Amino acid sequence: MDLRLDGKVALVTGGSRGIGLAIAARLAEAGANVMLSSRKEEGLRAAASSIAPGGGEVSWFVANAGEPEQAAACVAHTMERFGSLDVLVNNAGTSPHFGPIADIDVPRATKTVQVNQTAVLVWTQLAYKASMARNGGSVINIASIGGYLVEPGIGWYNVTKAAVIHLTHQLAAELGPVRVNAIAPGLVRTDFARALWEPAEEVVASRLPLKRIGEPDDIGAAALFLASDAARWITGHTLVVDGGALVAPGGGVTL
């Protein structure tokens, strides 16, 4: 399989820790030039210096994924720095409300849509117009198995992840030959999901066919595959990477 990305340029939103950092590390190791983006400079600096490049360079740019002007500035900076944009990973996500959907207030509901859903549209539009429409490319959207499930506590978040899965289909249909795919992770060991895995990791793991919760690099490896030429005839697909949670009796805990 051709998993090398030498000479390619990748941009990862939410790239300073967790799943985004693991994806960025895989893409960099495969030879890509990588631009990390998130809200906080300190985390980005630390993340960039933690990655061992495999032939390209690793850089960073501060941008809130949910703010279109900051997204535009980040994509413009990436084009100035590296000259193209071949792989866009829409990874930044948020879940500011935990509880029944009946209780979510409009500002939190709106922010969840802005960061998880509208940002996927906006960053993809920007990458497409700046580079991919001419040079091709691959977009990878980080959804969640929650996009397939009805669950307590994170219902509105799951609605936005369902939207990401459908948006992936729509974008793939409209933007081809640019490839647009999604990954739907199950429960992964990150700060974001700590409240779900930390109190009962062994119980959660024992319910999964693969008997452990996910590690960020489990998603990193899947993203490298989708970004690479090995996935050259795959578009509009959502790759479930969940240790078997969706097929486990009763389903798995998700975020």
Q: Which residues, including other chains, have CB under 8 Å from residue 230's CB and lie 6 or more apart?
A: 1, 2, 3
Radius of gyration of the chain from its Cα atoms, rounded to whole angstroms: 17
Which CB atom, from 117 or from 131, has the smaller least distance to ligand NAP? 117
Query: Least CB distance from residue 18 to ligand NAP, whole Å?
Result: 2
Query: Least CB distance from residue 66 to ligand NAP, whole Å?
Result: 5
The pair of three-digit structure tokens given for residue 84, joined into one six-digit string = 């193209």
d(CA 76, CA 79): 5
Which residues here bind ligand NAP, judged by CB under 6 A? 13-20, 38-40, 43, 64-66, 91-94, 115, 142, 144, 185, 187-188, 190-193, 255
Q: Which residues, including other chains, have CB under 8 Å from residue 2's CB and lie 6 or more apart?
A: 228, 229, 230
Which CB atom, from 40 or from 134, has the smaller least distance to ligand NAP? 40
Beta bridge partners of 58: 34
Which CB atom, from 155 or from 185, has the smaller least distance to ligand NAP? 185
Active site residue 157: yes
Query: Least CB distance from residue 163 to ligand NAP, whole Å?
Result: 12
Tokens 């578009």 locate to 235
Which CB atom, from 19 or from 178, has the smaller least distance to ligand NAP? 19
> Which of the following is catalytic: 61, 128, 156, 157?
157
Query: Least CB distance from residue 61 to ligand NAP, whole Å?
Result: 11
Q: 168, 159 in Cβ contact below 8 A?
A: no
Edge-first strand order for the sheet with 9-13 is 58-62, 33-38, 9-13, 87-90, 138-142, 179-185, 238-241
Q: Which residues, including other chains, have CB under 8 Å from residue 20's CB and lie 6 or more apart?
A: 12, 13, 14, 36, 38, 89, 91, 92, 142
Query: Least CB distance from residue 177 to ligand NAP, whole Å?
Result: 26
Which CB atom, from 1 or from 241, has the smaller least distance to ligand NAP? 241
Q: Which residues are catalytic?
A: 157
